[in-house]
Amino acid sequence: MATFSSANPWIAILKGLWVSIRHFFGNLGLFLRGRQDFAIHFPEQRLVQPPALRGMPVLAQMADGKERCVACGLCEWACPTSCITIYPAETADEVERYPEIFDIDMSRCMFCGLCEEACPEEAIIMSRQIEIASYSRRGSLWHKADLLVPVNQLKTRTDYLRRNYER
């Protein structure tokens, strides 16, 4: 049977304490020299969002006001929490489809981005919007009209995707 040396846990604990003490006195020294920015005072102050940030998923809206989505259902299928609901309908020319209903239950969304990865049309995009609190379960159900965002406002994310995923 494997046995553990009694010295090892104490060395690990002492190393951990040393890290904490070093940071404590380092930060105390900075504070005494006048540094104040140890905390972000939200909402007056905001963190700088990294380019890879995945906020809430939204639907890309084209210049003619329509959604880019063709209601293929791949995002709905890929979503691990089943929070996307799509009811497809045919467009007037009966060639393409569009989502008559496209809902996302944000109370179940975990911002994983799998819907975005599954989409062949770059139609569902992880936006930079992370402040989406609501006071009720019903308020967290976002409909198509709420989800549409002009495609030029999603440029930071689409540029990032094209750069890093060779789209």
The residue from 53, 55, 70, 151 that contacts ligand SF4 (CB under 6 A) is 70
Binding of ligand SF4 at residue 124 (CB under 6 A)? Answer: yes
Is residue 73 a contact residue for ligand SF4 (CB under 6 A)? yes
Single residue of 11, 21, 52, 110 touching ligand SF4 by CB under 6 A:
110
- For residue 54, which amino acid is it? R
Rounded to the nearest whole angstrom, what is the least distance from the CB of residue 76 to ligand SF4 in the complex? 6
Establish if 91 lies at the interface with ligand SF4 (CB under 6 A). Answer: no
Shortest distance in whole angstroms from residue 22 CB to ligand SF4: 39
Token duo for residue 101: 């209903």
What single string gives the DSSP state of each residue in 87-149?
Answer: EEEE-TTSSSEEEEEEEEETTT-----HHHHH-TTS-EEE-S------SSTGGGEE-HHHHEE
The closest of 73, 165, 159, 163 to 117, measured between CA atoms, is: 165
119 belongs to the binding site for ligand SF4 (CB under 6 A) = yes
* Binding positions for ligand SF4, 8-67, rule CB under 6 A: 57
Residue 67 is classified by DSSP as B
Nearer Cβ to ligand SF4 (114/151): 114
Does 125 participate in binding ligand SF4 (rule CB under 6 A)?
A: no
Give me the amino acid identity at 58: V
DSSP 3-state of 25? helix
| Binding positions for ligand SF4, rule: CB under 6 A | 57, 69-75, 78-81, 83-84, 86, 104, 109-115, 118-119, 121, 123-124
